[in-house]
Amino acid sequence: MDRYLLIIVTFVCIVPLVQCYPSGKVTASCDNMLPQHNSNSPHQTSAPFSVTTNPGNFKEGDTITVSIQGISSQFTGFLLQGRLVGGTSPLGSFIVSSALAQTLNCNGVSNSAVSHTSNAQKSSIQVTWTAPTSGNLNNIQFSATFVQTFGTYWVGVKSSTVTYNGTSVPAVGVTIPGTSSTSSSLSSISSTGCGVSKVCFSQPLNCDPSVSPSCYFMSAVAPSGNTAVQVEMTGSSSGYVAMGFSDDQKMGNDDIYICGLGSNGLLQLQHAFSTGRSSPNILSLGNVSVNSSMNNGIISCSFTTWNPISTQRSIGSSSPYYLMLAYGSTSNGIIQFHTNAFVSSTTANISSPGLVSTGSQPPIVKAHGCLMLIAWMTTSSLGMIIARYLKGVAKGKGCGGKDVWFVAHMSLMSLTVAATSIAFILIFSEVRDWSGGAHPVLGCIVMILALIQPTAAIFRCGPTDKWRFIFNWAHALNALLMKVLAVAAIFTGLLWLDSTDNQWLVKVMGGFVGWEATLYILLEADRWWKRMDTTKGDSNSTILLLLGVFFLGNMCFLVALLVGIGSQ
C-alpha cells in the first residue's frame, strides 16, 4: 500500500512540472522572456527556429505579418514580442487567427505579446502585428522564446530589423533614409533564418556571427511584393566591411555597399560601383535606412535600401548574383585596397532564401602555394642541412669532379630557386596586384634573395683565397634570411588561404616549424659532441639517421598541407 501511495504522490508532484505552462499564460515572462517553470539555462547554440517578417519596413498604423517556424525541429511553447531595436519593452499589438496562439497583455499594453495555447507540437505560427499610430517610433525587431521540451529552450531568437519609414525623430544611432551613423546598441546579427527567410553568405561556411567573432557574414532578402532589399553584414575589421552583388566572380561592374569609418571616426554607409581593381566610384547613398555599430573591432551594418541593384548587365533583386564580402582599412574616411575578399561559388537570387558557399581557390593560386611549400619545406631544408652537416660524407668521391655533398646541395638549391621563380610568376600572372597584405611583399623579398644566392655563388673566389670567408659568411646569412622570410611568407599565405574555422593549415605549419627547429638542435648537438669527443672519429651514422627521420617528418607535414590546399 505504501508503494502505491508513493507512486501517486510522485505523479501528483511531477505532472505539474512536466506540463509547465501548457495554457501559455506566461505574463510573468514578459520582461526577460525566460520560462518561469525552468531553472535550466537557455541554449546558446544556433536555434533551429526562425522569426521572419513581411514587409521589412513600416510606418505608423501599418501591419506586418510575423511568422515563427521550426527549421529542423518543432516547438511546444513560445513567446513573441515586437520591440524597438535595443529596447526592452513590447511595442504595438498583435492579432491571431490560429487556435494554437493567443495574445497577452504585457506591462499594461493590450495584445502586446503572443504565446501558445497548449503544449501541442507546432511547426509554424503566423500572426499580424499592428504598429502604434503615435509615439517615438523607430526600427524594430521581433524576438521570440521557443520551448522544445521541458529542459530545452532558446531565448532571444530575433527577426531581421524592420525599418521605420515614418516621421518620428530617430533615436541615437539610427538614421533616416540617406544618412548613417554609429550605434552602440545594434542588435547582434545572426545566422537565424538562413536558408529559410534570407540568403546568407559567410566565411567560414555556415558560421554564426552572434557566436563566433571571426565570422564574416552577410545576408540579404527582398520580401515578395516589396521593392526594398534588407541587408546585414558584419566582420572583424579596423576600417571597413563591404558587400557586393556581381555578375561574375571577379571585381568590376559590381553594386557595392561599404560600412566603414569616416573621416570623423564614425561609421558611415556608402553606396559604390566598382569598375575593376581600382577604388570604386562612390555613388549617392539614395533611399537607404541604416543601423550600424562597431564593438571590439567588429563592424556591423543592418540596412534597408530602395535603390535598385544594378551591375549594368543585370538589374533588379530577382536576378541571380554572385555575392562578395571584403574588409580592409580606411585612411581619413577613404577605403584602402581590401585585406581579404570572399566570393560565392554560385549565384544567388535574394528573392529566394538559400545558402551560398565560398568559391574554391583558382588552380593557379593552389599551384603557387604547393610549389612554395615544396621549395621551402623540402628541397631548401635538405640542401642547407647537407651543406652544413654532410660535407664529410663521401668527400672526394664526386660527380664531374665535385664532391657528392656539393652536387646534392647545388641540385636541391637549384630546384628551390626554380620552384620559387615559377610560383612567383604564376601568382602575379593571376593576381596582378599587391593584394594580400604582407604576403606579396615577403614573397618578393624572398624571390630577390633567391636570385642573389646562385648569382653570388657563380662569381665566388676560390676555396684558398684569403677573402673566401666573406663569401662563406654572406652565403650562409643570406640562406638563413631567405629561410626565415619564406616561412613567414608561407604563414601569411596560409592565413589568407585557409577557409577552415579553426585555421588548421596554419597550425600544421606551426607544427612543421617546431619539428624542423628540433631536428636542427639535435644536429647541432651531434656536431658539437663530435668536436668534444675525439674518439668518435668521422662517424656520420647519427647524422644520416637524423637526416632520414627529418626527411620522413617533413614529408608528412608537406603532404598534409598539400592536401589542405587542394581542398580550399
Residue 184, pLDDT above cutoff 70:
no
Which cell is 142 given?
521581433
Domain that holds residue 289: 199-356
Pair 112, 29: CB distance under 8 Å: no
Residue 392, pLDDT above cutoff 70:
no
Which cell is 434 given?
599587391
* Per-residue pLDDT band at 156 (split at 50, 70, 90): confident
Instruction: Compute, in degrees rounded to 10, the torsion defined by CA atoms 483, 487, 488, 490.
Output: 140
* Per-residue pLDDT band at 117 (split at 50, 70, 90): very high
Residue 385, pLDDT above cutoff 90:
no
C-alpha separations of 499 from 74, 178, 235, 360, 493 in Å: 33, 35, 15, 10, 12
What's residue 242's pLDDT? 93
Is 10 in the same domain as 113?
A: yes
Q: Which of 356, 381, 397 is the last residue of a domain?
A: 356
CB within 8 Å of 365: residues ≥ 6 apart: 427, 430, 431, 497
Q: What percent of the chain has pLDDT over 70?
A: 81
Is 479 in the same domain as 412?
A: yes
Is 562 in the same domain as 485?
A: yes
What's residue 456's pLDDT? 86
Q: What are phi and psi of 230, to 5 degrees?
A: -95, 125
For the chain, the average pLDDT equals 80
* Per-residue pLDDT band at 499 (split at 50, 70, 90): low
Rounded-to-integer distance, Cα 513 and Cα 533, Å: 30
Is 381 in the same domain as 280?
A: no
Is 497 in the same domain as 482?
A: yes
Is 457 a member of any domain?
yes
The enclosing domain of 444 has a CATH number of 1.20.120
Q: What are phi and psi of 333, to 5 degrees?
A: 85, -5
Residue 12, pLDDT above cutoff 50:
no
How many other β-carbons are positioned within 10 Å of the β-carbon of residue 313?
A: 10
**How many alpha carbons fall within 13 Å on the CB side of residue 399?**
8
Is 535 a member of any domain?
yes
Q: Which residue has the higher pLDDT, 101 or 297?
A: 101
Query: Average pLDDT in the 304-323 region?
Result: 76
Is 210 in the same domain as 326?
A: yes
pLDDT in tens, 202-259: 887 778 888 887 789 999 888 665 568 889 999 988 899 999 998 887 777 889 999 9
| Prediction pTM value | 0.45
Is 257 in the same domain as 368?
A: no
From the list 144, 141, 169, the residue with the least C-alpha distance to 155 is 144
Residue 568, pLDDT above cutoff 80:
no
Cα Rg of the chain (Å, integer): 32
What's residue 8's pLDDT? 44
Q: How far from chain centre, in Å, is Cα 451?
A: 37
Rounded-to-integer distance, Cα 489 and Cα 564, Å: 17
pLDDT in tens, 514-545: 988 998 888 888 878 877 766 555 566 777 88
Residue 289, pLDDT above cutoff 90:
no
* Per-residue pLDDT band at 168 (split at 50, 70, 90): very low
Is 280 in the same domain as 301?
A: yes
Is 452 in the same domain as 483?
A: yes
Q: Which of 320, 338, 356 is the last residue of a domain?
A: 356
What's residue 400's pLDDT? 63
pLDDT in tens, 466-479: 888 888 888 889 88
C-alpha separations of 281 from 265, 271, 340, 434, 539 in Å: 21, 9, 20, 20, 70
Q: Is it true that the peptide bond before 55 is cis, omega within 30 degrees of 0?
A: yes
pLDDT in tens, 433-489: 665 567 888 889 999 998 998 888 888 887 788 888 888 888 889 888 999 999 998
Which of 313-322, 339-348, 516-525 has the least mean pLDDT?
A: 313-322
What is the three-class DSSP state of 69? strand
Q: Which residue has the higher pLDDT, 240 or 72?
A: 240
Is 192 a member of any domain?
no
Q: Which residue has the higher pLDDT, 276 or 327?
A: 327
* Per-residue pLDDT band at 357 (split at 50, 70, 90): low
The enclosing domain of 328 has a CATH number of 2.60.40.1210
Which of 4-8, 383-387, 531-535, 560-564 has the least mean pLDDT?
A: 4-8
Please state the domain count of the chain.
3
Q: Which of 315, 332, 356 is the last residue of a domain?
A: 356
Is 345 a member of any domain?
yes
Question: DSSP secondary-structure letter at 223?
Answer: -
Q: Which residue has the higher pLDDT, 17 or 207?
A: 207
Is 227 in the same domain as 133?
A: no
Is 21 in the same domain as 137?
A: yes
Helix (H) and strand (E) counts for the chain?
8, 25
The enclosing domain of 59 has a CATH number of 2.60.40.4060
Q: Which residue has the higher pLDDT, 427 or 114?
A: 114
What's residue 415's pLDDT? 92
Is 475 in the same domain as 460?
A: yes
Pair 136, 120: CB distance under 8 Å: no
Q: Which residue has the higher pLDDT, 386 or 95?
A: 95
Residue 198, pLDDT above cutoff 70:
yes
